[in-house]
């Protein structure tokens, strides 16, 4: 717990609005409000402490990411005693994936409390998840691992994690297909070409070839999306053969 003692400074004031905000979100009375001031400070504020160190959520986000992974790993280790390391790693990645954490952060309304000099429309797409990770990091420092684990369980795991549904969730159709192609020694190739037509927005058309035949085509606004989209379309043609190895990817 030396890390917690090193990072903890200052005391909470129950009369401050931030005290009520943090307690309302986490269910835990904060001890050191300066930690949570960092959680809700955007880099655009360019705030610094007396030592010249930047005050924003980025360092707490880094810590929270590690703590969150540990909490989820411990949960899966207990709940899935028959799963091997690879399967547990995959399941964890399905839970801590960026779009899911963004949903959690947005559901908690964290962005409403963010001090920033940037209009909300100009935030990056992952700001909600970043704030959630920063909040997890702050709760860990302020209240310890057990309290932080209870917070993560109450706001993320218990209401949102369905292990049966996650078991069947595909994170990357391309990875799934490529692995299946390789295991079956099938010749495949992705072709991606610009396909703007008369539209102002750039578009790309992806084709998936299998043994010199086109098995699927798709169109999207960038190459990565086009490849994933065409892979998903192709997946449904081979899903019955693939499902037996799905959890290995």
**Residues with catalytic roles:** 65, 133
Residue at token pair 């008369």:
198
The residue assigned the tokens 């692995």 is 179
Residue 29 in contact with residue 40, Cβ under 8 Å?
no
What does the radius of gyration of the chain's CA atoms come to, in whole angstroms? 22
CA distance to 38, 46, 56, 63, 199, per residue, from 43 (Å): 10, 6, 5, 17, 36
Q: Which residues contact 234 (CB under 8 A, 6 or more apart)?
A: 173, 177, 208, 210, 215, 216
């Amino acid at each position: 717990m030396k890390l917690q003692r090193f990072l903890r400074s200052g005391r909470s004031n129950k009369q401050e609005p931030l005290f009520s905000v943090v307690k309302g979100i986490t269910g835990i009375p904060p001890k050191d409000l300066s930690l949570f001031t960092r959680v809700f400070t955007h880099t655009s504020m360019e705030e610094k402490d007396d030592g010249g160190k930047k005050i924003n959520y980025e360092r707490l986000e880094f810590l929270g990411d590690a703590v969150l992974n540990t909490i989820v790993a411990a949960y899966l280790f207990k709940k899935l005693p028959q799963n091997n390391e690879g399967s547990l790693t995959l399941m964890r990645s399905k839970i801590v994936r960026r779009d899911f954490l963004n949903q959690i952060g947005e559901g908690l309304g964290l962005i409403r409390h963010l001090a920033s000099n940037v209009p909300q429309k100009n935030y990056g797409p992952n700001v909600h998840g970043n704030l959630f990770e920063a909040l997890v990091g702050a709760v860990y420092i302020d209240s310890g691992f057990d309290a932080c684990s209870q917070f993560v369980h109450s706001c993320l795991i218990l209401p949102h994690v369905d292990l049966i549904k996650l078991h069947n969730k595909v994170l990357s159709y391309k990875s799934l297909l490529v692995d299946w192609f390789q295991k079956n020694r099938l010749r495949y190739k992705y072709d991606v070409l610009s396909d703007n037509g008369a539209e102002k927005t750039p578009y790309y058309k992806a084709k998936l070839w299998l043994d010199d035949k086109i098995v699927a085509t798709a169109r999207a606004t960038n190459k990565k999306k086009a490849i994933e989209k065409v892979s998903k379309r192709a997946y449904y043609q081979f899903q019955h053969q693939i499902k037996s190895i799905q959890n290995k990817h």
